[in-house]
Amino acid sequence: MGILAEFNPDLALRAHAEFLAGRRLAEECVPEALRPGDEHPFLKSGQRVYWLSDDPRHGAGQVPLRVTAGNQELSRPVASVKILEVTHFLRDGQPWTRGRYRVVAAFSGDAVEFECCERIAR
């Protein structure tokens, strides 16, 4: 048996409505408001690996924040975020990942903001 780890090029959280309905914790969901500069905690099941970087040649570590319905059903990016810290821990014998991210920019409309994992400069 190997070590199961998922490498994530984005941060995918559930819709805020999932928290309001009591089906998810707040940290598992996109916050109600996304304001540049705000920092938020996140929580994901499983052992996940995220990109941490300050390299300006690669957007200083910005990754897309997406809304997920589960099973890799993802929205277009709703924001650009920088993941600040990530920790793995066990809950009831299962691995979980928690961390913090900072909102760099919130998106609305149909403009393309990322090309693969690279933030498009505007």
Domain contains 52: yes
Confidence (pLDDT) at 111: 75
**pTM (two decimals):** 0.90
Domain contains 21: yes
Domain contains 13: yes
Does position 81 have pLDDT exceeding 80, yes or no? Answer: yes
Confidence (pLDDT) at 17: 97
Domain contains 65: yes
Domain contains 111: yes
Summarize pLDDT for 24-79 with one digit per residue, the tens: 999 999 999 999 999 999 999 999 999 999 998 878 999 999 999 988 899 889 99
CATH of the domain at 114: 2.30.130
Confidence (pLDDT) at 122: 63
Domain count, the chain: 1
Residue 110 belongs to what domain range?
6-119
Domain contains 70: yes
111 vs 122: CA distance, rounded Å: 11
Domain contains 1: no
